[in-house]
Structure 1
Amino acid sequence: MRTKTGTFTTKQSASAFERAYERAMALWPSPQEAFDVDTDVGMTRVYRHGVPDGDPIVLLHGHGGNASTWYALVEQLGRRRPVYAVDTIDDPGGSIQTRPVRDTSAWLEQVMEGLGLDRVHLVGHSYGGWMALGLGVSGTGRLATLTLLDPGGLLKVPKTFLAHLVAGALAMQAPATWKPGLAKILAEHGLVERPEIMAPVILGSRWFRPHRLPTPPYIDGELRKVNVPTQILVGGRSRLLRPAAALERAHRLIPDLERAEIVAGAGHGLPQERPELTIARILTFADRPRGKDHD
């Protein structure tokens, strides 16, 4: 049971994060709209870009991230559909948490209700993929499609995951000339990501305490409830998943899994590492003709 809310350890660290966050969000294309949506657990910040009409794409970032991490995808996605990117309520970002989150699916439902979104193409990466998958499990009628990018929830997090995080953090301290090589060795795209994007992520990891419980994999019976067209992309060098095992379980249990792909050579940061491929997969899947049950 979560009993606390996410918070920065000091006012100075919160101020430093806010400045870095604003610089990161400045990389988004214009025009950019920001919405503050009231929910039972606090105010949720959501950003919008793109064409005015059509079923929107809703983006959920990974643990410790924020809406800025989608900067390289938003413009091209927005040429075809409205795009909304959510700052998760218990991560450092533009959202302000006031109560513990006991049900992430209920929170997401309130966010989409507040935005007036009745039918969406939901895209989630990592922890955002776990949340997106949970909304599929809940049986919400809002989902037109579900795209999961190296998501949590399919398998138990391996014991080596923490070691990868530590190795990546240590590599961040290496000389700049070493980082491209280390990024290839570790499959850690953060080492070569734009510094504006990494600054708030690094500050958040140092000074923000999310008070988030571990996210367990969904049990078989839960995955069988995901009755919405679904696609899954997994990095061939993912540190979160064993790719073949994850897709085998998804094929076996998710009734409406239409596409599953292992992206060779890619790591866990799939949307940032392979933005063009990710954009193409999201749009093609959203535009795919389907029978009347999914119209």
Structure 2
Amino acid sequence: MPENPTRVRRDVGRYVNDALRDRYFATCDAVYAMGAPARSETDVETSFGTTHVYRYGPADPAAESRTPVVLIHGAGYCSAMWYPNTPALSAERPVYALDTPGDAGRSVHREPMWQPERAAQWLDEALDALGLDRVHLVGSSYGGWLVLNMAHRRPGRLASVTALDPGGLEKVGLRFFAWVFVSLFASFAPTALRPRLASWLEQPAIAVPELRKWSQAGARAFRIRRPAPLPLTEDALRSIRTPLSLIMGKRSLLVHPQRQLERVPRLIPGARAEIIAATGHGPQIDHPDLVNARMLSFMEDVDSLDPAGVKGAGDA
């Protein structure tokens, strides 16, 4: 019997309906407006669906030839989460922010890609379609797992990897899922309570109106259809030779920062690891000036040691 073309696949992320999707996109645009304006948007095709890409800066034409930055967001969100980071990063380098298929963005998910090799294949195909032969890859949370997985499986295009409070180092525990759900419910609290809850949960989305509406709309509109990623094995981490910077929040509930501060540099030669105080899972959101400076300094150091770092890159 032929497959019903209208049947909803259970292994592919989807929007509940068009009306909720469009309402969510309006909240996304309000968050994007808080960051640097995108120079362009484009869609590239991969084996797993259409990937929507935002291109930023730089303002200085001389910086166009610098190795670009590619940003991979966390689970359940889209590239709007990089609003505190796009102004500083795109002032120095070309920046590409990818909406991951399977998450609540403008990409279109058609085939499952949660398996590690498929995830690396998707990212490699997307970079290839953009004409990017060499990039500084940055990922947060689930995006951190994606970039660590890429460094292990397909490192050929990578000048460096920056992992921001990433998945991929430890099994995702109940405490993290509890924080996610409590944060979402707290966003519905009375206005007077929201700043206190935002501080207690270290979740700025609760207190910033644009972020609160964005997170609530995304939870209503989109259904993720993938399991939590398994951590990379120690052998997999030992295989990584791409320059790596690991930045964690001191009160992270996804990783145990002190444990990884010792473990990651021990397993990955030359890796940098740092803990940012007064933050949890979102150091680049809570302390953007500090983290942006750390990221740019790391990329500058990598490029200064590698002549390939001055090679140009394609434009979307």
Counterpart CA distance in 2 for 1:21 and 1:188 is: 18
- 1:263 alignment partner in structure 2: 276
- 1:197 alignment partner in structure 2: 211
Cα displacement (A) at 1:292: 5.0
**Is the CA contact 2:40–2:54 (under 8 Å) kept in the aligned structure 1?**
yes
Counterpart CA distance in 2 for 1:76 and 1:43 is: 28
- 2:61 alignment partner in structure 1: none
Counterpart CA distance in 2 for 1:220 and 1:293 is: 30
Structural mapping, 1:117-128, within 5 Å: 117-128=132-143
Q: Pick from 179, 188, 199 the counterpart of residue 164 of structure 1.
A: 179
Structural mapping, 1:99-138, within 5 Å: 99-101=111-113, 102=115, 103-138=118-153
Counterpart CA distance in 2 for 1:116 and 1:267 is: 35
- 2:162 alignment partner in structure 1: 147
Cα displacement (A) at 1:198: 3.7
Q: Pick from 45, 68, 76 the counterpart of residue 88 of structure 2.
A: 76
Counterpart CA distance in 2 for 1:282 and 1:192 is: 26
**Is the CA contact 2:205–2:215 (under 8 Å) kept in the aligned structure 1?**
no
Question: Mind listing any 5+ residue stretches in structure 1 that lack a counterpart?
Answer: none
AA partner of residue 107 (structure 1): W
Counterpart CA distance in 2 for 1:85 and 1:34 is: 10
Q: CA RMSD in A?
A: 1.9
Counterpart of 2:70 in 1: which secondary structure? strand
Q: Pick from 176, 190, 215 the counterpart of residue 191 of structure 2.
A: 176
Question: Mind listing any 5+ residue stretches in structure 2 that lack a counterpart?
Answer: 1-8, 59-63, 310-316
Counterpart CA distance in 2 for 1:198 and 1:46 is: 24
- Taking only the aligned residue pairs, the percentage that are identical comes to 37
Is residue 56 of structure 2 the alignment partner of residue 42 of structure 1? no
Relative to structure 1, is the Cα distance of residues 139 and 227 closer, same or farther in structure 2, using a 3 angstrom cutoff?
A: farther
- 1:286 alignment partner in structure 2: 299
For structure 1, which segment, 99-108 or 77-86, has the greater mean C-alpha deviation from structure 2 after superposition? Answer: 99-108
Q: With the length of structure 2 as denominator, give the TM-score of the two structures.
A: 0.87
Deviations for 1:179-215, whole angstroms, at most 9, x for unmatched residues? 222222222222223x333433322223311101111
Q: What is the number of equivalent residue pairs in this alignment?
A: 292
Counterpart CA distance in 2 for 1:12 and 1:291 is: 50
Relative to structure 1, is the Cα distance of residues 39 and 246 closer, same or farther in structure 2, using a 3 angstrom cutoff?
A: same
Counterpart CA distance in 2 for 1:233 and 1:94 is: 28
For structure 1, which segment, 200-209 or 233-242, has the greater mean C-alpha deviation from structure 2 after superposition? Answer: 200-209
Q: Pick from 40, 57, 69 the counterpart of residue 57 of structure 1.
A: 69
Counterpart CA distance in 1 for 2:248 and 2:77 is: 19
Relative to structure 1, is the Cα distance of residues 294 and 221 closer, same or farther in structure 2, using a 3 angstrom cutoff?
A: farther
Q: Which runs of at least 4 in structure 1 moved beyond 3 Å after TM superposition? A: 289-295
For structure 1, which segment, 196-205 or 74-83, has the greater mean C-alpha deviation from structure 2 after superposition? Answer: 196-205
